[in-house]
C-alpha cells in the first residue's frame, strides 16, 4: 500500500522475511551512499545482523548507532548523541537513516533525520506491534520534554515503511499487548468490522497469525488514508488518530514515562474518553463497556494509576490539541466513528478521571 502525499508518497510493505531484504526495498526508493541504523540493544541482538548485512552485501557503508532502551531515550541528550555519532561517521546528505525498532526509535531517529544536515532520507523498519500499526506511519517525529510528550519534533515522512511480521515473534507479551491498544483505537475511530474481529478473537492477548496480519494491514490502511487527507493536522481530520491520547499522554507524563507503556496509557485514555462520551450522550452506554472489555481481553490496564488529579490536569493542559484554555477530546459516537469536542465540562473530566483512579 502507499501513503499518498504527492511527491512525498511512500510505500508500506508488510510481509515476512523482509529484514534480510531491507537493502533491496530501500534501493527501490532511494540510493544511499552511507546508511546509519539507529536501534536499541534488545532489537540489535535479534535483527541488526540481517538488516546491516543486507546493506553491506550491496557495498553500502553502514554505521550502527545504539541508544538506551525505553521511553527516556526520546530526549534532547539522546538526540544530541545520535547527531554527534552521525556527524562523526560523516553521514552525508546522500545518506539514509534507518530506524530499526519500536515507536521510541522511530520518533527519535526520524527527528534526527529531519535535522541532520537540514534533512536526509530515512526508512522505518518497525519491530514492535505498536510501531507497525501506528508510530511508523505518518511522518510525526520528535522527543519528549519534562513538560510533555512529543512537544519538540518535526513532520518528516519516511521514504519507506518495512513491516516484517517475523519480528513480532521476538516481542515480550507486554509489548504485544501494548500494541493492540492502537489497533483497538483504529477500530473505534474508523472500522467497526475490525473491532468486531477483535471481539470475536478467542485469545486477543495472543492473537493468531491471520488476525495479527489483519491488525497490521487494516491499521496501516486506516492511518495512511487519514494522513493523506491531513498530513500536518491543518484540517482537523488527523486529530481523530489521537483518540485516547489526551488522557493517555497525560498519564505517561505525570508518571515520568517509566511506569506504563504508551499503548497501556492509550488504553486507559480510550476508556476515559468513551465514558465521558456516554455521560455527554454522544454515544450509547454500551460503547465504553465494549471498549473496556476489549482492552481487558488484550490484558491492557483500564484504570489510571494512583496519581494526583492536579498533576494529571496540568499534563493534559500541555496537550497539542488544546485551544486557548479549552481541552479538546476525541470522543466516540459509535464504534467506527468519532467526533472532536472542545466543550467537555472540566468537572466531568475530573469526575471520570477520579472514578478511574486519579486521587486528590
Lowest mean pLDDT among 12-21, 82-91, 107-116, 253-262: 253-262
All three cell numbers of 300, joined, read 491492557
Is the model's pLDDT at 263 over the cut of 90? yes
- Rounded CA separation 316/251 (Å): 9
Cβ-Cβ contacts under 8 Å for 194 (sequence gap 6 or more): 183, 186, 187, 214, 215, 218
User: Whole-number mean pLDDT of the chain?
Assistant: 95
HEC string of the chain equals: CEECCHHHCEEEEEECCCHHHHHHHHHCCCCCCEEEEEECHHHHHHHHHHHHHHHHCCCCEEEEEECCCCHHHCCHHHHHHHHHHHHHCCCCCCCEEEEEECHHHHHHHHHHHHHHHHCCEEEEEECCHHHHHHHCCCCEEEEEECCEEEEEEEECCCCEEEEEHHHHHHCCHHHHHHHHHHHHHHHHHHCHHHHHHHHHCCCCCCCCHHHHHHHHHHHHHHHHHHHHHCCCCCCCHHHHHHCCHHHHHHHHHHCCCCCCCHHHHHHHHHHHHHHHHHHCCCCCCHHHHHHHHHHHHCCCCCCCCCCEHHHHHHHHCCCCCCECCECCEEEEEECCEEEEECCCCHHHHHHHHHHCCCEC
Is the pLDDT assigned to residue 256 strictly greater than 90? no
**Tens-place pLDDT, residues 93-147:** 999 999 999 999 999 999 999 999 999 999 999 999 999 999 999 999 999 998 8
- Min mean pLDDT across 27-41, 140-154, 264-278 is at 140-154
- The verdict on whether 351 is a catalytic residue reads no
Q: Which of 66, 182, 264, 275 is catalytic?
A: 182
Check: CB of residue 13 under 8 Å from CB of residue 161: yes
- Local confidence band at 158 (pLDDT 50, 70, 90 cut-offs): very high
The predicted pLDDT at position 102 comes to: 96
8 A C-beta contact, residue 184 and residue 294:
yes
Contact 282, 332 (CB under 8 A): yes
Query: Would you list the domain boundaries of the chain?
Result: 2-170, 174-355
Q: Is 223 a catalytic residue?
A: yes
The CATH class of 174-355 is mainly alpha
What pLDDT, on a 0 to 100 scale, did the predictor assign at position 360? 75
> 348: pLDDT confidence band, cut at 50, 70 and 90?
very high
Reference 63, options 29, 27, 89, 32; nearest CA is 89
Ramachandran sector of residue 258 (left: φ over 0; alpha: ψ -120 to 50; beta: rest): alpha
Distance CA 143, CA 82 (A): 13
Tell me, what's the pLDDT at 261? Answer: 93
Instruction: State residue 148's pLDDT score.
Output: 85
CATH class (in words) of the domain with range 2-170: alpha beta
C-alpha–C-alpha distance, residues 66 and 145, integer Å: 21
The predicted model gives 306-318 an average pLDDT of 93
Of 242, 253, 264, 290, the catalytic one is 242
Q: Can you give the pLDDT at residue 146? A: 87
Catalytic hit among 249, 261, 321, 328 = 249
- 182 catalytically annotated: yes
Annotation marks residue 233 as catalytic: yes
pLDDT in tens, 198-249: 999 999 999 999 999 999 999 999 999 999 999 998 898 999 999 999 999 9
Name the catalytic one among 176, 177, 245, 261.
Answer: 245
- Catalytic annotation on 262? yes
**Residue 356 a catalytic site member:** no
Catalytic status, residue 334: no
Quick: pLDDT tens for 34-89: 999 999 999 999 999 999 999 999 999 999 999 999 899 999 999 999 999 999 99
Query: In the structure grid, which three cell numbers stand for residue 64, read together?
Result: 550502527
Q: Is the pTM of this model over 0.85?
A: yes
* Mean pLDDT value across residues 270-297: 97
Amino acid at each position: 500500500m502507499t501513503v499518498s502525499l504527492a511527491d512525498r508518497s511512500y510505500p508500506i510493505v508488510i510481509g515476512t522475511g523482509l529484514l534480510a531484504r531491507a537493502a533491496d526495498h530501500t534501493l527501490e526508493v532511494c540510493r544511499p551512499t552511507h546508511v546509519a541504523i539507529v536501534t536499541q540493544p534488545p532489537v540489535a541482538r535479534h535483527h541488526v545482523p540481517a538488516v546491516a548485512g543486507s546493506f553491506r552485501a550491496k557495498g553500502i557503508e553502514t554505521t550502527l548507532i545504539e541508544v538506551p532502551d525505553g521511553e527516556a531515550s526520546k530526549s534532547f541528550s539522546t538526540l544530541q548523541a545520535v547527531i554527534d555519532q552521525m556527524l562523526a561517521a560523516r553521514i552525508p546528505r546522500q545518506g539514509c537513516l534507518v530506524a530499526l525498532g519500536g515507536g521510541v526509535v522511530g520518533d527519535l531517529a526520524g527527528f534526527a533525520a529531519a535535522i541532520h544536515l537540514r534533512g536526509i532520507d530515512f526508512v522505518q523498519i518497525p519491530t514492535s506491534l505498536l510501531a507497525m500499526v501506528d508510530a511508523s506511519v505518518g511522518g510525526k517525529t520528535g522527543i519528549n520534554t519534562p513538560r510533555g510528550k512529543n512537544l519538540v519534533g518535526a513532520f518528516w515522512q519516511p521514504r519507506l515503511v518495512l513491516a516484517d511480521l517475523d519480528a513480532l515473534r521476538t516481542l515480550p507479551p507486554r509489548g504485544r499487548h501494548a500494541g493492540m491498544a492502537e489497533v483497538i483505537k483504529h477500530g473505534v475511530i474508523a472500522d467497526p468490522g475490525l473491532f468486531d474481529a477483535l471481539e470475536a478473537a478467542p485469545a486477543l492477548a495472543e492473537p493468531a497469525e491471520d488476525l495479527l496480519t489483519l491488525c497490521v494491514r487494516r491499521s496501516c490502511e486506516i492511518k495512511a488514508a487519514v494522513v493523506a487527507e491531513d498530513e500536518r493536522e491543518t484540517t482537523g481530520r488527523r486529530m481523530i488518530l489521537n483518540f485516547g491520547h489526551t488522557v493517555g499522554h497525560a498519564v505517561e507524563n505525570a508518571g515520568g514515562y517509566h511506569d506504563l507503556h504508551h499503548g497501556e496509557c492509550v488504553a486507559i485514555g480510550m476508556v476515559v474518553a468513551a465514558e465521558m462520551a456516554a455521560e455527554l450522550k454522544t454515544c450509547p452506554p454500551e460503547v465504553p463497556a465494549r471498549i473496556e472489555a476489549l482492552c481487558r481481553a488484550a490484558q491492557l490496564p483500564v484504570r489510571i494509576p494512583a496519581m494526583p488529579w492536579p498533576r494529571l490536569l496540568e499534563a493534559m493542559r500541555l496537550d497539542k490539541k488544546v485551544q486557548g484554555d479549552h481541552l479538546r477530546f476525541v470522543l466516540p459516537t459509535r464504534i467506527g466513528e468519532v467526533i472532536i469536542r472542545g466543550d467537555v465540562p472540566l468537572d466531568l473530566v475530573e469526575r471520570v478521571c477520579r472514578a478511574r483512579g486519579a486521587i486528590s
